[in-house]
Amino acid sequence: MDIKPPRVLLMDILDVQVLPEQSLLYSAFNRDLNHEEFKAALLYVVDQFQEHSTLYWLLDSSRNNFTLQDQGWVIKELSLLINQTTIRKAALVHNGNVFESLVADIMRDRIYHSHGPVQELEHFSSIPAALDWLLPGIPQDFFKFISPADKL
């Protein structure tokens, strides 16, 4: 499989790849972000959903920790924006610690409680696990096109 998706770097804080054949948008925070950077990055991602009509989203947040302010904004505002897109499944990759897993569970539950399960939302501690959930049966060599080797 020879896929070379285009990359967009937003202010050195966000890496975005759109894979039209898989209807997948991959985004990754390149570092820990303040709240304004966090919002700007995710609003850009939402614009990309609209532009590319993607069905699946993989957000690698392993280099960024969600603050309480970030969590509130995602639950109250971002989730409403995403509900207006074509996204049907979204996977969050976190750094794998128990706290981040708990935060992801709480955010998903609050989004479902507030807005209903319009999209399927899950979280994972690795990109391969997230991709396997988003796109079951995807070939293993696909992973190398999605993320640098140090993230796999």
pLDDT digits (tens, 9 = 90+) for 22-55: 999 999 999 999 999 999 999 999 999 999 999 9
3-state secondary structure at position 129: helix
CB-based contacts of 145, cutoff 8 Å, min separation 6:
1, 3, 4, 5, 17, 19
**Would residue 116 be called left, alpha or beta, if left means φ above 0 and alpha means ψ between -120 and 50 degrees?**
left
Render pLDDT for 43-95 as a digit per residue (tens, 0 to 9): 999 999 999 999 999 999 999 989 999 999 999 999 999 999 999 999 999 98
| pLDDT band, residue 3 (cuts 50/70/90) | very low
Give the global pTM. 0.84
Write down the CATH number for the domain with range 7-151: 3.40.50.10600
